[in-house]
């Protein structure tokens, strides 16, 4: 169920729509279906609030930096950075692994399909720059944060706070994880293979949970096909990447440190 209010001058239009999970209703289920539709209609409602220009100006002047969320984000960033650095320092093997007996010497080094993977590793941290910027803009200003998380505001929804905080922490964590992967990759550490596979799984699970949380907010929910289209590239990357780093002779011959 979605609501799409719009206004023009003194006219306010409330447009409600819903997306069914099935394309047809069995004859035996028609009665239950009609009851569900009636129940959904009965739950629809709206609340109108008005602020004078003076009140709007006063509210804008009260907008300040959201120190509570910023402190939480900084603590998370600092802790995750320390753990990433510590893992990077301790991931080096006491002595390098021997090359696979069935791998030619020419496979040792970044070449072949690994060149594409190297480019992807370098660009990967940039993938999370825009999501971090967007969620920071919504959470670090008390005015925008209050408009979504304060029950007296018209755009309030109880799921906005957990959804925004999860997006903030998830994208910061994914960014640091991606930076760690770059370091492991170009130092050719054996730990990169395992870390890369774990990152793909972490990225997929985080994206699924983020989609679930956002879909709990009617004004931000997306159609099912849109959500599936956003998750499909992650699934495809995992389906190709994990077997490649697990079985590729070049990968085994290169990442041995």
CA–centroid distance for 121 within its chain: 18
CA–centroid distance for 250 within its chain: 32
Where are the extended beta strands (E) located within the chain? 2-8, 11-17
pLDDT > 90 in the chain, percent: 51
CA–centroid distance for 58 within its chain: 34
pLDDT at 108: 84
Q: Residue 116 pLDDT > 60, yes or no?
A: yes
Q: Residue 20 pLDDT > 80, yes or no?
A: no
With CA atoms as reference, report the closest residue to 240 among 122, 116, 126: 116
Cα dihedral across residues 101, 107, 113, 116: positive or negative? positive
Q: For residues 222 and 167, give the distance between their C-alpha atoms in angstroms, rounded to a whole number.
A: 16
pLDDT band at 75 (very low <50, low <70, confident <90, very high): very high
**pLDDT per residue as tens digits for the range 119-141:** 999 999 999 999 999 999 889 98
Tell me the mean pLDDT in the region 39-62. 68
Predicted structure pTM score: 0.77
Question: What is the number of other CB atoms lying within 10 angstroms of the CB of residue 121?
Answer: 20
Q: For residues 106 and 250, give the distance between their C-alpha atoms in angstroms, rounded to a whole number.
A: 9
pLDDT at 221: 83
Q: Residue 3 pLDDT > 90, yes or no?
A: no
Strand partners, 7: 12
pLDDT at 152: 82
Contact yes or no for 127/121 (Cβ under 8 A):
no
Q: 139: exposed, middle or buried (C-beta count within 10 Å: 0-12, 13-18, 19+)?
A: buried
Contact yes or no for 83/235 (Cβ under 8 A):
no
Tell me the mean pLDDT in the region 19-33. 79
pLDDT at 199: 97
Q: Residue 61 pLDDT > 60, yes or no?
A: no
Q: For residues 235 and 232, give the distance between their C-alpha atoms in angstroms, rounded to a whole number.
A: 5
Contact yes or no for 135/163 (Cβ under 8 A):
no
pLDDT band at 1 (very low <50, low <70, confident <90, very high): low
Q: Residue 62 pLDDT > 70, yes or no?
A: no
pLDDT band at 55 (very low <50, low <70, confident <90, very high): low
Q: Residue 23 pLDDT > 70, yes or no?
A: yes
With CA atoms as reference, report the closest residue to 3 among 228, 217, 212, 210: 217
DSSP string, 226-245: HHHHHHHHHHHHHHHHHHHH
pLDDT at 146: 86
With CA atoms as reference, report the closest residue to 17 among 219, 155, 229, 230: 219
**pLDDT per residue as tens digits for the range 179-210:** 999 999 999 999 999 999 999 999 999 999 99
pLDDT > 70 in the chain, percent: 93
* Residue 4, φ and ψ in degrees, nearest 5: -130, 85
**pLDDT per residue as tens digits for the range 202-241:** 999 999 999 999 999 888 888 888 888 999 999 999 999 9
Q: 182: exposed, middle or buried (C-beta count within 10 Å: 0-12, 13-18, 19+)?
A: middle
């Amino acid at each position: 169920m979605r609501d799409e209010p719009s206004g023009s001058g003194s006219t306010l239009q409330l447009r409600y729509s819903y997306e069914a999970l099935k394309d047809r209703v069995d004859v035996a289920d028609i009665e239950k279906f009609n009851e569900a539709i009636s129940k959904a209609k009965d739950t629809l409602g709206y609340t109108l609030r008005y602020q004078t220009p003076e009140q709007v100006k006063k509210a804008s002047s009260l907008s300040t930096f959201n120190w509570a969320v910023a402190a939480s984000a900084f603590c998370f960033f600092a802790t995750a950075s320390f753990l990433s650095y510590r893992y990077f320092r301790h991931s080096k093997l006491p002595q390098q692994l021997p090359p696979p007996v069935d791998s030619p010497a020419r496979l040792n080094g970044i070449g072949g399909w690994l060149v594409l993977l190297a480019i992807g590793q370098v660009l990967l941290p940039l993938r999370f720059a825009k999501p971090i910027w967007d969620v920071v803009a919504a959470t670090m200003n008390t005015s925008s944060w209050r408009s979504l998380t304060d029950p007296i505001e018209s755009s309030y929804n109880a799921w906005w706070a957990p959804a925004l905080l999860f997006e903030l922490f998830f994208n910061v964590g994914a960014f640091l994880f991606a930076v760690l992967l770059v370091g492991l990759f170009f130092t050719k550490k054996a730990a990169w293979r395992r870390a890369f596979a774990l990152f793909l799984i972490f990225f997929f699970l985080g994206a699924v949970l983020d989609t679930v949380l956002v879909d709990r907010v009617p004004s931000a929910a997306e159609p099912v096909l849109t959500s599936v289209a956003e998750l499909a590239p992650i699934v495809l990357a995992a389906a190709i990447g994990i077997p490649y780093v697990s079985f590729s002779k070049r990968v085994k011959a290169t990442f041995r440190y």
